Each structure stands twice: as C-alpha cells, then as structure tokens.
Structure 1
Amino acid sequence: MKTALGIFKRDVKRLKTNIIAVIVLLGICILPSLYAWFNIAAVWDPYGNTGGIPVAVVNEDKGSSLEGINVNAGEKIVTNLKGNHQMGWKFVDKDKAMDGIKEGDYYAVVYIPKDFSEDMISVATGTITRPEITYYVNEKKNGIAPKITDKGVEAIQTQVNSSFIGTVTGYMTDILKVGEEKASVTKDDIVAGINKTLDNASADLSALSSGISSYQSTIDSAVSLIDANITLAGSVDDSLSGAENRIEGDLSKLKEQHAAIDADKFPDIDKLLTKVENGFDKCLDDLKQAGSMSSDAQDVLTSLKSSLNSVSDSLTSTKSAVDGSIERIDTFRNNEDSLNISDGFVDIINKIISNPKSVSEFMASPVKISTEKVYPVADYGSAMAPFYTTLAIWVGGIIMVAIMKTRVREDDQLRNITPRAAYIGRSLIFIITGLVQALIIGLGNIFFLGMQCKNPLLFMVTCLITSFVFTLIIYTLTVSFGSIGKALCVIWLVLQVAGSGGTYPIEVLPQSFQYMSHFMPFTFACDAMRETVAGVYTPDYITDMLKLLCFVPLSLLLGLVLRNPLRRLNEFFEDRLEDTKFMG
C-alpha cells in the first residue's frame, strides 16, 4: 500500500511542475460536462417547439348545405388551425404543397378534398359517405418529425369528429323543442305529437283503401266486358279496342294514385300496387295481341280474364292488409295504457331542451380525462438529464484512458513496483479526476441548466458514486487489456446507449437488449439518477445503487487477481503496437 501511495504522490508532484499537464487535466475534467450540457440543452423542450415544423394545409372543400344551412367543414378546420401553434401550418394550393413535400420544404401535407363537407352531412341524406382527409408525410427528411406530425393530424381528426358530433347533437335538441314560446314539454305534449303522427298515418291508409276499392270496381267491369266479348268472336276487334281504351284510362288513374303513395312509409303496399300495375300492363299487351290474332281471340280473352282475376285477388289482399293496419292504429290510440311515458323520460327531454349547448358539448366529448402525475418532471431536458449525465461520465472515463497513461514506470525513487501496487497507485489519480468530472457535470446540471432535481444532494452523491464505478471499470479494462481494453470500453458504451433503457423504455427494445440491460451499469446509474430528479422511491434507489456497486468487486477482481496471468500477453501486444511508431 505504501508503494501505491508513493505512485500517487509522484503523479501529483509531476503535475505541479508541468503547467501543460495541468491544463490538459483541466480539459479532461471539463470536456465531459460540455458533452452532457450541450445534449441536455438541445433536447430541453423539443415538443414545445414543434411550431417550427412546416406542415402544408390544402383546402379545396367547396362546402355544402343542409336544410338551408351552409356547411363548410374545410374552412372551419383552416380557421381553427390558424389559431393553433402546435405545428408550423402553411396554407397553400395543392401543386405547391406536393412540390414542397418532395423538395423537403414541408414535413407533411394535409389535403382536404372538394366534397369533404358534402360527405360530412351525407349521414342526413341516407347515403352515407365517410369524409376523408389525405395525409402525406415525408419520412426521409427526419426520423422523429413524422411521429410529431402524426400527432398533429390526429388532433385535426379529433377536432373534426368532436365538432361534427356536437353540431348534430345541437340540431337534434332543436328538433325536440315544441316551440319557441315553450321552455319545456309535458307528457301530454309528447302524447299529442305521437297521436298526430298516428292520425296522419291512418288518414293516408284510409285513402289508399278507398283507392283499392275503386280499382277493384274497374277490374270487375273489365271482366264483365271480357265475358261479353268472348261470345262475340266475329266482332272481337271492336270489343277489344273498347276494352283496351277503358283499361288504359284506368291504368293511368292507378299510376297517378300510386305516385302519391309514400313508398318509404308503406313499402309493402308499394310493392303490391306495382304488381297490380304490372297486371294491367299484361292485360293491355294481351288485348293488343288479341287484336292481331282474331282467330285465337277467345283463348286470348280467357287468358286476359284470368290475369284480371289474379290482379283482383292481389288487390283484395292489399286492401285486407291496409284495413288491418288502420284497425291496429285505432286500437292502439284507444288504449291509453299503450302510451305509458314515464315522468323520468319527460324530465330527460326537458333537460336536453333547456340546455342544448351543454348537451352538444357533452356528446362531442363525453369523457373527460383527469391527469394526475406521479413523480412529475417539469421538462424533457430534465427527463433526459440522467441518461446524458451517465453517458458523459462514461465518456469522461474513456477520455482519461485515451490521454493519461495507465502503465506505471519505475524510477530512482520507486523500484520493484508490483502489478497490484501499480494498479492501485495509478487508479487514484484516475478516480479523483473522474470525481471532479462528475462534480462539474452534476453542479452544472442543477445551477447552470436549471434541471429539475427533487433531491440535489442525493443527485450529487449518485453522480460521484457512478463516476467511481465507471472510472474503475474503464481503468481496469485498459490496465488489463491495453488498447484492446480501450476498444472494449467503446464497444460497451455503444451497447449501453442502445440497450440500457436510457432513451426508450426497455420494454420496447428487442428481447436480446432487454436481457443485456441486466448486465449494464448504465441501466442502474440512470435509474438511480431518475429517482433523485423526479422523486425518490427509497427501495428502488437502494436496489439500483447496490446493483451498480456490484461492478466494483468485479473490477477489483480483474485488476488485482486475474490481470496477472494476462500481464505478459498484454505487454507483448503493447510493445508490438509501439513498434509501429503510430499506435499504442
């Protein structure tokens, strides 16, 4: 131990007498902090500065109208975006937008087509077409920007959906109002409205039933006429001509009455009347054929009579169905218990009518998310500070072994230096330099950058312990394996940056990286620093620090025991590298 301390004292004495060495050592102490500070400052609030990301917006929406109300959803989107600073929205025409995204002027393009508003209100027309906004994104320009612009477009979609639902709900609440002069409705108002609808339906069905009776009378007359004409084969042409004219007139009347029927309201009756018309058409075709085939007139007339009888039967079935519907409506109306409307239902209707704006706002966004942050972090820079601080401390260790010598040489004062004494003696200057590096990095994070830190004292202690562990690992690998050890330190750095969970959650990394993270000091140093930054959960902090300190005995085992068998091989490699005059 005395020899080890002697090595350390000699190193300090040499520093005092060499101003250049002092300047270099100061640079070694400061350089890692610059690495950490620049990286942390660069990512301090990236998601708060997305207003500088240019995104083109093309609005070609021509608008539409519904019940006399003009609707232009595209224009409303543009108006809202002009007050939105989440992105750098640029309102241009389509040609400029498409050229711009190819040239890299825009990260993305939002295109609103001509029929956007028309598709928005198609739900009220019966022919529903989903409105569509086309989103073009240039993923080549930057790896992160597309993820940010994706969120901006999702916000537009949410805004449009909420606006649409709110508008439709407001329109429905207006429909529920009985009149401008009435502030609320009663159970009698609702019953009266239902009864009025039923009265209208009953009147329409009664008119249809009367029309069917008239059609049957016409068909009966036509059948009688055909019976008379069957026995008059010699004068069939004249008789058929008269029947044809009569049926054409009746058919014209039937089509006029059929056109007055609401097919949507009475679909079954519409189908039956269509069948009746088809029957009349067949009768006319048969009459015309009979006029040109006098020799077969009797057979044709018999077939015609059969067709008319079939039509008559269809009309009878139709009339029976219509009369049955009228009877059921009358029965329903006469039964007061059929309209058993609860007071609660009436109360809900009145609440909707009394405050339609609140109802439409509720329907547009029925669920409110209340966010309660556990261990809140003020900004992205503070959230990333543990990772970049850990990274800077490791980089500081690599800088030390790249510039400072790990091999201890003998002189007149120190002779017969054992490998263990050399290892311990030279490690002291490395460890102290590493602690100074960590001290500068940690204090700069807190006081220079203004990083959030719930427990500054514990954060500084964590930085110092991390530096001690990292420096010992890097120093030991370099002492044990020389230049190969330095390369191992760089390789390990690369693996830890990718697989320690410092940037992305460890759970989203490939399975191999998740496994390796358990053997990486970065993992435990980052997690321990996060505890001090956002709020300490003592069991986790202690666990992380104990896992980090496990690398100390492993390093000492390699540096003090296992290094000896490798010493000659290491010296051989070092000598061969020095022989090149440009390596080693």
Structure 2
Amino acid sequence: MRKSWSVFTTDLKNISKNYVAAILIGGLIFLPSLYAWLNIYASWDPYGRTGQLPVAVVNEDVGANVRGEDIEAGKQLVDTLQDNHDMKWIFTSRQKAMEEIENGNYFAVMIIPHDFSEKLGSVVSDHPQKAKIEYYVNEKINSIAPKITQKGASVIVERVSSQFIATVNGVIFDLFNRLGIELAQDMPDIEKFENYVFDLETQLPEIHRLLKSATADANSAQKLITKAENMAPSANKTISEGLATINKTYDFLTKAENRLNEMAPKVKSDLEKASSIAKETNAFLQKAANLHLDFTEIDRVKGQMDSKMTEAIQAVEKVEADLQWLKEVSNEKGEEPTDAAAGRQQRLQEAIDRTAGLQALLHEAQNNARSLNGLVEGKQDELRQTLTDLQDLTKNTSVRLDAFIAEYENTIEPTVLTETANAKKTLQSAKSMLTTIQSTMPEVERVLKSTSKDIEEGKGLAVKALNEYPFLADKIRTLADRIRKVQGETDINEIIDLLRNDPQAERSFFEEPILLNENKLFPIENYGTGMTPFYTVLSIWVGCLLLISLLATDVERDEDLTVRQIYGGRLLTFLTIGLLQTIIVTLGDLFILGIDAKNPVYFVLFGLLISVAFMLIVYTLVSLFGDVGKALAIIMLVLQIAGSGGTYPVVLLPEFFQWINPALPFTYAVDLMREAVGGIVWHRVTKDMIFLITTAAGFLIIGLFLKKIVNRKTHQMLKKSRESGLFH
C-alpha cells in the first residue's frame, strides 16, 4: 500500500512540476463540467419557447346557418389563436402555407376546411358528421418540433371540441331545464294520464262489449239504410202523388170557394124570399081574419096561401140543398178530424135540420090552408080560429126565417168561408212542405249513400278494433304495469329536480368535466432540472473516458513495484482527478446553473460515490485490456445512454434495452442523483448505493488480482496487433 501511495505522490509531483501536464490535467478536470452544463442549460426550458415555432393557420370555413342562426366556427377558432402564444401562429392562404412548409420555413400547417361550421352544425340533424382540421407537418426539419406542433394542434382541437361540447350541452341542458319546468307544470296532467290508463285498464271488458255492440249496431244500421235507400223511389213517388192530390184538392176548394161566393147571395135571397112570403102570408091572414069569408073568398085565400107556401117551401128546399152541398164539400176536403171541423159539420147539420123544420112548418101551413073549405058552412068560429092558428104559424115561421137568415149571414157563411180559406192555407203549407221534401230527396239519397259508405267504413274499423282488441288490451295492461312499476321504483319529482338544473353550470361542467388535481410528490422546477441527473452522470463517465484517453494506466516499470502496486497507485491518481471533476460539475450545477436540488449536500456526495464507481470500472477495463478496455468503456457509454432510462422511461424502450437496464451502472447512478434532486426515498438510495458499491468493489478486486494474468494475455495480443502497422 505504501508503494502504491508512493506512485500516487509521484504523479502529483510530476503534475505540479510540469506546467503542460498541469494545464492538460486542469482541462480534463473542467471539460466534463462544460459538457454537463451546456447540455443542461440547452434543455433548461425548451417547451417554454414554443411560441417561436412558426405554424401556419389557413381558414377556408364559409360558415353555416343552423336553425336560423349563423355560425362561423372557423373565424372563432382564428380569433382564439390570435390571443394564443403557445406557438407562433401565422394566418395565411393555403398556397403560401404549403410552399413555406415544403421550404422548411413553417414547421406545421393547420387548414380549417370550408365545411367546418356546417359539419359542426350537423349535430342537430339526424346524421351528424364530425368536423375535420387538416394538419400538415414537415418532419424532415427536426425530430422534436413535429411532436410539439402536433401537441399544440391537438390542444387546439381539444379546446374547440370542449367549447363546442359545452355549447351544445348548454343548449341541451337549457332544454332539459325547460322540460323540467314543463313537467312540473304538467304534473296534474301526468297524474291524470296515469289515472286514465288505470281507468282504461278497468274498462277493458266494457270496451270489448261496446265494440261487439257497435259492430252489431253497424250491421243493423246498414240494413236500415239499405232499406231506406230501397224505399227512396217509393217515397219520391208518394211525395209526387201527395203533391198531385194537394193540387187537386186545392183546385177543388178554390172552385168550392168560388161556388160558395156565387151561391151565398142566392141562399140569402131564397131565405129572404121565404121570409117575405111568410110575412106576406101572415099579413094576408090577419086581413082575412077580419073579413066575412064565403066559399068563393076562402077558395081564393086558400089558393093564394097554397101558392105562397109552395113558393116558400121551394125556396127553403133550395137553401137546404145548398147547405147539404156545403156539408158534403166540407167532408170531401180530406182534413184530419179536429174540433173546429167537427163544430163546422155540427153547425151545418143544425142549419140543415132547421131548414127541414122550416119546411115542416111551411108544409103544415099549406096543409092548414088547404083544409079551409070544410070550415066554411056553419063553422065560422072554427075557421077564424084556424086562420088565427095559421097566422101564428106563419108568424113563427117568419120569425124563425129571419133568425136563420141572421145566423146564416153572421155564422154559417163566414164560418164556411173562413174554414175553406184555412183549408186552402193548410194545403198550401203542406204543398210547400212536400215541395221542400221533394227538393231535398236527392240530398237525402246522397246522404244515405254516404252514410252507408261511412257505416261500412265504421263497421270495418269496429271489426278491426275488435280484432285488435286482444293486442290493445295486452299493451294497455303492460303500460299500466310499467306505470305502477315506475311509481314504485322512481319518484318523478326527483326526475324533475334532476332536469331543473342550472344550464350555465352544466355547460361549464361539460366544458371541463374533469379537473386534474395535480399533486407533485417530488416537484421538479423545470425540464433542465429534471435532466440534470442524467447529464451529470453522463459527464462523470465522459470525464473518466477523457482521463483514460490521455493518461496512462501504467508507470515506467520499477523492479521494486509490482503490477498490483502500480494498479493501486495510478488508480489513486485517476480517482483524485475524477473526484475533482465531480466536485466541479456538481457544484456548478448547484451554484452556476442554479439547479433546485432538494438535498444539495447529498447531490455532491452521491456524485462523488458515482465518480469512484465509474472510475474503478473504466480504469480497471483500460488497465486490464488497454485499448480494448477503452473500446469497452465507450460501448458501455453508448448502451447506458440508450438503456438507462435517463431520457425516456424504461418501459418505452425496446425489449433489449429493458433487458439490460438492471445491469447498467447508469441506471442506479441516475436514480441516485434524482433522489438528491427531487427528494430522497432511502430504500431506493440504499438499493442504488449497494449496486454501485458492489460493482466498484468487484472491478477493484478484478484489477488487483487479475491484472497480471490479463496483462500477460493482452500484451501478446497487443504485440501481434502492432505487427499490422495499424495500431499503436
């Protein structure tokens, strides 16, 4: 150990006495630090300057009209990007944008197509279409820039989508809110509908009976209408015949009225004539009673009286005949039996009876007059009595004729004329009614045909409804059961409360339904700080490579020095320089770059441990294998850069690198430095330190105990390789 220390002290003296060596060693000490610092500074915050990446935006959207409202989603997107500084947005035409991206002046191009708004608006149609944004990227320019621009484009698309979803959902929840209000207002109607369904369910048997009854009634109605249609021609014929009868009767009454008007003066004249004869006879008898009558005179009086009585009887007979004719005419009018008609008939019959009575009186007077001849001889007193009785008889006849004349004038004649006029008026009304009925018969026939057709259709519907009744009844019962089930499981008031939410709050929710509540367990200030462990570890290994590239691992052979002593002595020199490199790079990270390490002391100490481990590995490889060892150290560097997980997570690496990752010193060195930067978890630190110390100890043992054997073999190989003139 003392001789090894002697080798180390000799190296320090040589460095201090030779300024060139001192300068070179100083450069070797600081050079790895520059490698780390420059890389860390370069990657300090690369994503904080994405606003300098030129990305073109082309808006070709022509807008759209959705349910009466104009929308310009493309313009709104452009307005949004104008206030966005995540990238350097350049708004231009398609032609210029494509030319510039091909020339490498733009990293990406976003083109908003002409139908952008139209397709967004199709969400309210039956066939909604997704809107598209064309995205062009020139990946030849840089490998990272396309990923950044793509991320920016994705963020913009997500933002537009979230805003659009929020807008649509705002409208939907506004509709839901109004629906909830309407449902609350319609709750009585909903409950009434439920009751209707339940009532309908209970009424199903009665509905079935009514359908069957309606079908039977339709059949009966159809038969009746068919019968009525068949009777329509007969009804037309009857109406025509009735009109003809009315016309005939009306004409007959008109003639009777005219006849009555013609006959009335004559009847009156005949009655007046009979009355006059009775009066004259009465006067004659009064005069005759005061005279002395002989046979000749009596015969003359008898002849005169007989003649007058005959004339009066004939006049009354004519009146009776006329009254009988009126009665017959009254019976032939075909009127319905009424109290007025019966009264008229009774009055006419009484008048006829009274004319018969008058005739009897006149016949009695005539007979009495004819009996005067037997009373002349010796019976003057009886004659005079007979004349007196005859006088009274004629006087009574005259009075009765005058009364009959008055009754005829005041009652019989006006009554007959009035009743005739009324009969004519009634016939005229009946004629008008029948004429109206006759004019409506075509419409009646049309209505009957239409009704027959409607009843046929109604019958068909009734039959169809009857046939569909089982299905309908089943559906109604199913609906009632579902309503009862919903009532049992769901409170519609809760649904209404759910619908009646704040539309703006719901819109805000769907614009950002999930908030990422980020909790950083081991926060890292920026990207450069996050990359510091990797670049620091990498610079330590690079420092080791620089040392073994410029410094020799062996010393000039001294008979007093063994291979093991040389290995140990020169190792101390390498370790010293390596530790100085590590101190400079770690302190520079902390104080020059301002790395925010949570445990700065451990950051330096862990760096020193890593430096010792790396130096033992690299120094031992070169000490044992010479140039081949250098190559092995470089190969290890390459494998560890890719497979240690320093830049990308191990799970994202190819399977080969995932396989070798647990065996690489970089894996544990980078993890150890990350613990110092982000915050220490001691069981991880312990695991990392055990691996590094174990690995370093292993290489130290190999160097101490196998150097002589390995050097013998490598010396022969080196000698043989130099014979080729290609290797030094």
With the shorter chain as reference, the TM-score category is 0.7 to 0.9
- 2:542 matched to 1:395? yes
Q: Which amino acid aligns with 2:637?
A: L
Q: Displacement, 1:575?
A: 5.2
Counterpart of 2:497 in structure 1 is: 347
Counterpart in the other structure of 1:296:
none
**Which of 363, 366, 385 lines up with 2:513 in the alignment?**
366
Which amino acid is the alignment partner of residue 188 of structure 1? Q
| 1:543 aligned partner, one-letter code | K
After superposition, give the CA deviation of every residue in 1:213-262 in whole Å (9 maximum; x if it has no partner): xxxxxxx9xxx9xxxxxxxxxxxxxxxxxxxxxxxxxxxxxxxxxxxxxx
1:527 aligns with 2:671: yes
Q: Paired residue for 2:688, among 529, 544, 550?
A: 544
- Determine the C-alpha separation between the residues in 1 that align with 2:660 and 2:485: 73
For the residue of structure 1 that corresponds to 2:136, the secondary structure is: strand
Flag the 1:75–1:26 CA change in 2: closer, same or farther, 3 A.
same
Q: Deviations over 1:35-76 (max 9, x none)?
A: 000011111111222112222111111111223221111111
Q: State the Cα deviation string for residues 191-233 of structure 1 (Å, max 9, x = none).
A: 669999xxxxxxxxxxxxxxxxxxxxxxx9xxx9xxxxxxxxx
Letter in 1 for 2:591: F
Where does residue 32 of structure 1 map in the other structure? 32
Q: What aligned pairs does 1:107-256 form with structure 2 within 5 A after superposition?
A: 107-175=107-175, 187-189=184-186
Which shows bigger deviation, 169-178 or 2-11? 169-178
The secondary structure found in structure 2 opposite 1:86 is coil
Q: Following the alignment from structure 1 to structure 2, what is the Cα–Cα distance between the partners of residues 318 and 499?
A: 85
1:43 touches 1:381 (CA, 8 Å); kept in 2? yes
TM-score w.r.t. length of structure 1: 0.72
What aligned pairs does 1:129-528 form with structure 2 within 5 A after superposition? 129-175=129-175, 187-189=184-186, 316=460, 342-350=492-500, 352=501, 355-410=502-557, 414-528=558-672
2:462, 2:702 → 1: CA distance? 101
Paired residue secondary structure (2:84): coil
SS in 2 for 1:49: helix
The offset of 1:465, in angstroms, is 0.6
Structure 1 contact 61–112 (Cα < 8 Å) conserved: yes
Give per-residue Cα distances to partners, 1:324-346, cap 9 Å, x unaligned: 999999xx99xx99997732223
2: CA distance, partners of 1:25 / 1:560 = 25
| Cα shift at 1:583 | 5.0
Secondary structure, counterpart of 1:431 in structure 2:
helix
Q: After superposition, give the CA deviation of every residue in 1:96-145 in whole Å (9 maximum; x if it has no partner).
A: 11112222122221111101101111121323222111222222222122
1:88 Cα offset (Å): 1.9
| One-letter code aligned to 1:15 | I
Residue 199 of structure 1 is matched in structure 2 by none
Residues in 2 aligned to 1:109 and 1:61: alpha-carbon distance in whole angstroms? 15
- CA deviation after TM superposition for structure 1 residue 175, in Å: 3.7
SS of alignment partner, residue 136 of structure 1: strand
The separation in 2 between residues aligned to 1:475 and 1:515, in whole angstroms, is 26
Letter in 1 for 2:518: T
CA distance in 1, matches of 2:94, 2:689: 57
Structure 2 counterpart of 1:406, which letter? T
Secondary structure of 1:97's aligned partner: helix
Q: Distance in 1 between the 2:697 and 2:6 partners?
A: 24
Structure 2 unmatched runs, 5+: 194-221, 227-452
Measured in 2, the distance between the counterparts of 1:314 and 1:22 equals: 120
Percentage identity across aligned positions? 39
CA distance in 1, matches of 2:65, 2:721: 83
CA deviations on 1:143-196 (whole Å, 9 max, x unpaired) are 1222222211221221122111211122234445669xxx96672346669999
Name the structure where helix makes up a greater proportion of residues.
2
* Paired AA for residue 507 in structure 2: S
Please state how far the C-alpha of 1:363 moved relative to its aligned partner: 2.3
Query: In 2, distance between residues paired with 1:164 and 1:141?
Result: 34
- How much does 1:26 deviate? 0.6
Structure 1 stretches lacking a partner, 5+ long: 197-219, 225-308
CA contact (8 A) 1:63 1:115 kept: yes
- In structure 2, the CA distance between the partners of 1:139 and 1:313, relative to structure 1 (3 Å rule), is farther
Q: 1:513 to 1:437 in 2, by over 3 A?
A: same
Over aligned residue pairs, what C-alpha RMSD do you find?
A: 3.5
Q: What is the distance in 2 between the residues matched to 1:127 and 1:506? A: 45
Q: Which has the larger radius of gyration?
A: 2
Query: Contact 1:169 / 1:363 at 8 angstroms: preserved in 2?
Result: yes
- In the TM superposition, what is the alpha-carbon distance from 1:551 to its structure 2 partner? 1.4
TM-score, normalised by the number of residues in structure 2: 0.58
Residues 564 and 707 in structure 2, CA contact (< 8 A), matched pair in contact too: no
The answer to whether the Cα contact below 8 Å between 1:185 and 1:346 also exists between their aligned partners in 2 is no
Q: Secondary structure at the match of 2:55?
A: strand
Q: What amino acid does structure 1 have at the position aligned with 2:11?
A: D
Instruction: Please give the residue correspondences for 1:46-57 in structure 2 after superposition, counting only pairs within 5 Å.
Output: 46-57=46-57
Q: Which residue of 2 aligns with 1:295?
A: none
Look up the match of 1:300.
Answer: none
CA distance in 2, matches of 1:487, 1:65: 71
1:572 to partner: Cα distance: 4.0
Cα 1:422–1:313, aligned 2, differ >3 Å: closer, same or farther? farther
Partner of 1:77: 77
Distance of 2:154 and 2:462 partners within structure 1? 55
Q: CA deviation at 1:445?
A: 0.5
Q: Give the SS at the match of 1:58.
A: strand
Aligned mates of 1:185, 1:483 — CA distance in 2: 89
SS in 2 for 1:550: helix
Q: Take 1:569 and 1:161, find their aligned partners in 2: how far apart are those partners?
A: 70
